């Protein structure tokens, strides 16, 4: 294109103004170029400009077979030979693996509280952060996966107090209850007892507001928090024991999800960070004092004033986030980006955090990113963990796995599977259903999760993609190991069919889609493109003979196409954190 503009219009091309698009299906072509931005350069109207460009490209580029012009849009038809050569490359190499680019990125996700088990809201966070990590890894980044475990505070003490009051020494081992669920059980028990005590106080004539503060169980939890902060050995021992139960429970869930972390941070250690940095900022005049407290004024940037250190010298949550960010860039030299995967209710918090770090003069502050996402709803409404009405992650995984088992056994195509193989397959399908359903929606959007719809083998689901992958693998096994050799257009004695071309074009777009998903931190775009690929491949499979094709070259070409689809689908699903089965 640069040569064309230089030769035709004596103009050096500004590549940023050049727009390539896939040609709309109602027009002939593979690639469309919008020439309207260049009319001043050409000195011609839209159609003459597009025509002379098309003629030049057809003459000088062997891959351009012909062209047509629709108003100011130049539609190029790319040769079958080009598509065939690309298809062979896609079948033999990993087109979705980019070379290392030297960038080191930290992705924070999950970051649960240790007073309850993981739930559906955590799952969108975890799958989103895990997928973004893999997408970045595939596009050449070195990725550090991390989480901050919220293991301190009044919510932890609530579970501890309730266990002391009502637990009778119950442990995960004695009860047979998973550790995180056992601690979560006592968080719910605290809330029940708290409400009962408030009702009794109100019945005695105390105002609701006063009762909220004076309920004995709440005062006990607040006293325990003070003891924890004072390093009381008895409280600390109980805290370590109950948190240990929770970590065992979390790790079991993470293992089943196929998720892991490279670095863990604990709020019990990070909550002391940031105070010195804020005081340094005060000395430099970045912050100011009012009524003994340290403040930052963000009103010039359209935000509010914010307390960073209270008048008694204690920190606020923002302070420790400032300190933790600084510590991470010190611990990992060369870190080029830090991504926080946190729900959109914290949008304002991260705007303030990033601005404070920028005001403190850290050059990397511009490379901080809040991967904001919408909440997950169910038909029954919003989840409330303190009331015990959350959708438990383990239970939801088990539900979709059992739904996968029910569907699979109804189809009766697993007669040659052992029970162990069936169990492994249903686990794979259930997790694919769950992950894909949560990832296919734009992260910014609030979403409604429907467990039954997620498992549909014929819908826009993870299991449908898995099924198509398994179909390609079955086809290739039946064809034999040498079936894709010696593919060439000349041997095929014909051109690509529309169904074949449509699949190859979607394969061709895949690297660009993956790159855009990495840039935009958007697994949904990759998930949806993968679905379009397998859906289009299924149309090809149903309408074009493969194994029954009598022409050896055409048969080999179609099997090579199937191999390329299988390879790219497997890698794309890996980027989404989803496994694909060889048989279904």
At 52, which CATH number?
A: 3.30.1360.70
The answer to whether residue 559 sits within a structural domain is: yes
Measured in whole angstroms, how far is the alpha carbon of residue 215 from the centre of its chain? 42
Consecutive H or E run containing 506: helix 498-520
The answer to whether residue 293 sits within a structural domain is: no
**CA 197 to CA 214: how far, in whole Å?**
9
> Both 261 and 377 in a single domain?
yes
**CA 307 to CA 49: how far, in whole Å?**
60
Number of domains observed in the structure of the chain: 3
List CB contacts of 299: < 8 A, sequence separation 6 or more: 305
Strand partners for 143: 105
Consecutive H or E run containing 193: helix 179-203
> Both 65 and 147 in a single domain?
no
Rounded to 10 degrees, the C-alpha dihedral 232/238/242/243 comes to 20
The answer to whether residue 327 sits within a structural domain is: no
> Both 418 and 367 in a single domain?
no
The answer to whether residue 537 sits within a structural domain is: yes
Q: Could you tell me the CATH number of the domain that includes residue 225?
A: 3.40.50.620
What is the CB-side half-sphere exposure of residue 87 using CA atoms within 13 A? 28
Please give the residue range of the domain that contains residue 196: 109-269+332-387
Domain final position from 360, 387, 414: 387
- Extract long-range pairs of 347-354: CB within 8 Å, 24+ residues apart: 347/372, 348/303, 349/318, 349/321, 351/303, 352/296, 352/298, 352/303, 352/306, 352/318, 353/318, 353/321, 353/322, 353/325
> Both 141 and 222 in a single domain?
yes
List CB contacts of 402: < 8 A, sequence separation 6 or more: 426, 430
Q: Could you tell me the CATH number of the domain that includes residue 523?
A: 1.10.730.10
What is the CB-side half-sphere exposure of residue 165 using CA atoms within 13 A? 20
Tokens at 49, concatenated: 């400009």
| 260 C-beta neighbours (distance < 10 Å), count | 11
> Both 495 and 366 in a single domain?
no
> Both 370 and 422 in a single domain?
no
Give the pTM: 0.92
> Both 382 and 450 in a single domain?
no
Alpha-carbon distances, residue 242 vs 87, 174, 187, 263, 511 (angstroms)? 55, 14, 12, 22, 46
Alpha-carbon distances, residue 156 vs 4, 180, 234, 244, 266 (angstroms)? 67, 12, 15, 13, 13
Bin 450: left if φ > 0, else alpha if -120 < ψ < 50, else beta.
Answer: beta
The answer to whether residue 103 sits within a structural domain is: no
The answer to whether residue 310 sits within a structural domain is: no
Residue 397 near residue 430, CB atoms below 8 Å: yes
The answer to whether residue 198 sits within a structural domain is: yes
> Both 382 and 493 in a single domain?
no
Q: Going residue by residue through the chain (584 aa), what tens digit of pLDDT does each one get?
A: 778 888 888 888 777 777 789 999 899 999 999 999 889 889 999 999 999 999 999 999 999 999 999 988 999 999 999 999 999 899 889 999 999 999 999 999 999 999 999 998 899 999 999 999 999 999 999 999 999 999 999 999 999 999 999 999 999 999 999 999 999 999 999 999 999 999 999 999 999 999 999 999 999 999 999 999 999 999 999 999 999 999 999 999 999 999 999 999 999 999 999 999 999 999 999 999 999 999 999 999 999 999 999 999 999 999 999 999 999 999 999 999 999 999 999 999 999 999 999 999 999 999 999 999 998 887 665 444 444 456 899 999 998 999 899 888 887 678 889 999 999 999 999 999 999 999 999 999 999 888 778 888 788 999 999 999 999 999 999 998 776 665 554 444 458 999 999 999 999 999 999 999 999 999 999 999 999 999 999 999 999 999 999 988 899 999 999 999 999 999 999 999 999 999 98
Bin 439: left if φ > 0, else alpha if -120 < ψ < 50, else beta.
Answer: alpha
Alpha-carbon distances, residue 13 vs 3, 6, 7, 36 (angstroms)? 8, 7, 11, 14
> Both 174 and 265 in a single domain?
yes
Instruction: Name the DSSP class of 23.
Output: P
């Amino acid at each position: 294109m640069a040569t064309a503009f230089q030769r035709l219009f004596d103009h050096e091309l500004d590549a940023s103004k050049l727009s390539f698009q896939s040609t709309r299906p109602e027009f002939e072509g593979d690639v469309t170029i919008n020439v309207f931005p260049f009319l001043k350069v050409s000195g011609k109207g839209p159609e003459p400009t597009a025509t002379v460009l098309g003629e030049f490209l057809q003459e000088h580029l062997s891959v351009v077979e012909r062209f047509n012009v629709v108003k100011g849009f130049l539609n190029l038809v790319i040769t079958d030979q080009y598509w065939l050569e690309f298809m062979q490359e896609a079948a033999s190499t990993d087109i979705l693996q980019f070379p290392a680019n030297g960038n080191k990125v930290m992705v924070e996700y999950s970051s649960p509280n240790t007073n309850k088990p993981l739930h559906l809201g955590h799952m969108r966070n975890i799958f989103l952060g895990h997928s973004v990590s893999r997408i970045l890894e595939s596009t050449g980044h070195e990725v550090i996966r991390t989480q901050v475990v919220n293991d301190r505070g009044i919510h932890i003490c609530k579970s501890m107090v309730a266990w002391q009051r009502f637990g009778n020494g119950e442990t995960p081992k004695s009860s047979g209850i998973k550790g995180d669920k056992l601690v979560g059980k006592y968080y719910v028990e605290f809330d029940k007892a708290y409400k009962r005590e408030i009702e009794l106080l109100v019945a005695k004539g105390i105002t609701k507001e006063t009762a909220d503060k004076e309920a004995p169980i709440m005062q006990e939890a607040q006293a325990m928090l003070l003891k924890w902060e004072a390093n009381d050995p008895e409280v600390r021992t109980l805290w370590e024991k109950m948190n240990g139960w929770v970590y065992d429970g979390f790790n079991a869930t993470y293992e089943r999800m196929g998720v892991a972390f490279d670095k863990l941070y604990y709020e019990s250690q990070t909550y002391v960070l940031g105070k010195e940095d804020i005081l340094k900022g005060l000395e430099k005049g970045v912050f100011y004092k009012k009524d003994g407290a340290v403040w930052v004024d963000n009103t010039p940037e359209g935000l509010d004033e914010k307390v960073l250190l209270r008048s008694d010298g204690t920190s606020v949550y923002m302070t420790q986030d400032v300190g933790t960010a600084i510590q991470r860039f010190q611990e990992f030299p060369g870190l080029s980006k830090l991504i926080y995967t946190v729900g959109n209710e914290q949008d304002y918090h991260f705007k303030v955090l990033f601005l404070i770090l920028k005001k403190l003069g850290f050059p990397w502050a511009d490379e901080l990113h809040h991967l904001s996402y919408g909440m997950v709803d169910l038909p029954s409404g919003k989840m409330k963990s303190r009331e015990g009405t959350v959708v438990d992650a383990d239970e939801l995984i088990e539900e979709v796995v059992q739904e996968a088992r029910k569907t699979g056994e109804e189809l009766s195509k697993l007669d040659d599977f052992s029970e162990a193989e069936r169990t492994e397959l249903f686990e794979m399908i259930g997790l694919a259903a769950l992950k894909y359903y949560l990832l296919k929606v734009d992260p910014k959007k609030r979403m409604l999760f429907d467990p039954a719809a997620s498992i549909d083998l014929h819908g826009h689901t993870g299991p449908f993609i898995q099924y198509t992958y398994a179909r390609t693998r079955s086809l290739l096994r039946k064809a034999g190991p040498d079936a894709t050799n010696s593919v060439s257009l000349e041997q095929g004695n014909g051109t690509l069919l529309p169904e074949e071309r449509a699949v190859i074009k979607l394969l061709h777009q895949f690297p660009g889609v993956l790159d855009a998903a990495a840039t935009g931190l958007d697994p949904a775009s990759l998930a949806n493109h993968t679905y379009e690929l397998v859906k289009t491949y299924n149309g090809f499979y149903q309408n074009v003979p493969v194994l029954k094709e009598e022409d050896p070259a055409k048969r080999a070409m179609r099997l090579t196409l199937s191999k390329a689809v299988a390879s790219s689908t497997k890698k794309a699903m890996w980027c989404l954190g989803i496994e694909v089965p060889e048989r279904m």
